[in-house]
Structure 1
Amino acid sequence: MVWLMPAVTKKAYDRARPTHFLSFPLSSPLITRKLGEFQSSVLSSTFQCKGIDPSIMVLSANLHLTLGVFKLLNQAEIEKAVRFLKDTIPGVIDNILQKKLLSVHLKQLATMQTNQADAHVLYVQVHDETQEKVLKDVCTAIIDAMVEEGFMVRDTRPLKLHATLINTSNRASSSGASKDEKRQPFDARPIMKSFSHLDLGVAHLDKLHLMKMGRTGPGKTYVSEGSISLTQ
């Protein structure tokens, strides 16, 4: 557990960047089609939006709802987290869900930044469509279990249900500059004016994955270390 680490190891942990994240994939044929249509419209030559580039668009295969991030610094820690995910988390979920199907409706755009003219992240809001609206309860219970076991550090910010559609941290550099260069924002105002009420449809949350940070899979997709099914 994090709080039992030797001092030297704790220092390394504190300095390290997150290595993994826990997430529900958000997918359906309808969502893939609608997201593709949205991206094509925003990237078209007739749509004027400063700072927009194909590289900052989130692939439909990478669309997800994040619950939290992890710092797993070696293979043993990764394997321990995956075992906990597979052995313990299904019971945590079922205590609340009780065989109900988790469903969410992806609609209405927003930016993480208050100034939409200097945006870095644009997302679609995730609305709970589950019977009795238990999604936040399920997410909170999973996070609590992971924190108590020492895999995650508790985030004091309220849980924000969202799915990122545009993220400037993914911007491809044409100059070969380092990743530490200042991120270039985009002007989200034209997008919000034309697409603020974007509706991507409903997704059923049937898997929970521990994903590696960084898009290192085929076609710049995320790689899963392990997952559980929510439909069994």
Structure 2
Amino acid sequence: MSEVAVHAGSNLGRRGNRGGPRRAWRGRGAPGRPPQDRERPTHFISVPLDHLSHFTSQVSHFTDSLLAASPPINGLDPSIVISPSRLHLTLGVMNLASEDQLSNEPRVNSPHDQESGGERKAPRKSVADAVALLDSLKLDIESSLRGQPLQLCLNEFAVMRRSPAGEADVMYIGPATIGTKTAEHERSVGILETINRRFTEEGFITETRPLKGWAAPPVFNGPDRGYDIPKSALHWDATLIR
């Protein structure tokens, strides 16, 4: 899995909810953060990868080989393996409202709030607002691409950790922080970071830490991400993967 060429086609996706218990949203990699600090994301902005047959075949071969390991990897259950058809580059997560939800929400920053000293709350962003911003970036993105697809070197496996004990919700594929990077890779990274920055500047993405999972098609999802996971899959040792 050395290089992935992606034809630009950023889109907004809705985070699924397939039932099952969920922990309060604390944000990526933020152990102990109070749940009320951030609202759980409802949508994400991404570049789909499901049309890259060679890449998805490589990922599928990798996950199949792990499931077929002998002896079996303790705790690695098929239910946490992500289908290659869902692979994507994540550029950011957002909490968005539909137009119906916005019309039913109480008014914010009203004169009464200001007179009573109430907290001033920013209006919630809508799905239509996010789509409009994405559309406004189209010409700049096309100009930066110069008629070429995104070309990224995804050469490292990593996990998103939630606790000092090492609990991991997601194992993902991304670019190594060290090593030789081609001009095409750097150009593509710049385009993706620009999209993330614009959505952050406009208040859609509230994550302020450096973008780490932008090139992170998830390979394994942990038990608190809305799936029905057998107890045997709650813990598994990623160090057994070679």
Classify the secondary structure of the residue corresponding to 1:67: strand
- Partner of residue 186 from structure 2, selected from 129, 133, 138: 133
Q: Which amino acid aligns with 2:221?
A: N
Q: Which residue of 2 aligns with 1:89?
A: 137
Structure 1: runs of 5+ lacking an equivalent: 1-12, 176-182, 195-232
Q: Choose between structure 1 and 2: higher strand proportion.
A: 1
SS at match of 1:33: helix
Give the % identical residues.
Answer: 28
Alignment CA distance shift 1:37-1:120 (3 Å): same
For the pair 1:33 / 2:83, whether they are aligned, the reply is: no
2:147 corresponds to which of 90, 99, 124: 99
Q: In structure 2, how many angstroms separate the alpha carbons of the residues matched to 1:32 and 1:125?
A: 14
Residues 104 and 130, structure 1, Cα contact 8 Å, conserved in 2: no
> For residue 8 of structure 2, what is the aligned residue in structure 1?
none
Q: Does the 8 Å CA contact 1:24/1:64 hold for their aligned counterparts?
A: yes
Please list the CA deviations of residues 67-114 of structure 1 after superposition, one character each: whole Å capped at 9, or x if unmatched.
11111022361122112212x111232343333321123333233349
TM-score by length of 1: 0.62
Change (3 A) 1:115 1:14: closer
Correspondence 1:108 to 2:164: no
TM-score (norm 2): 0.60
May I ask how many residue pairs the two structures share in their alignment? 172
Alpha-carbon deviation of 1:143?
A: 1.7
Query: Hey, what's the Cα distance between the residues in 1 that align with 2:98 and 2:187?
Result: 34
Asked if 2 retains the 8 angstrom alpha-carbon contact of 1:122 and 1:164, the reply is yes
Q: For structure 2, list consecutive stretches of 5 or more residues without a partner in the other structure.
A: 1-35, 103-125
Alignment of 1:139-150 (within 5 A): 139-150=192-203
**TM-fit CA distance, 1:133:** 2.0
Provide the secondary structure at the position in 2 that maps to 1:103. strand
Contact 1:48 1:190 in 2 (8 A): no
Q: Report how far residue 174 of structure 1 moved.
A: 4.4
Deviates more, 1:29-38 or 1:126-135: 126-135
Q: Which has the larger radius of gyration?
A: 2
Mapping 1:1-232, distance limit 5 Å: 16-27=39-50, 28-44=52-68, 46-75=70-99, 77-86=126-135, 88-113=136-161, 118-126=167-175, 131=184, 133-160=186-213, 161-168=215-222, 169-170=224-225, 171-174=227-230, 184-191=234-241, 194=242
Classify 1:108/1:115 alpha carbon distance in 2 versus 1 (closer, same or farther; 3 Å): farther
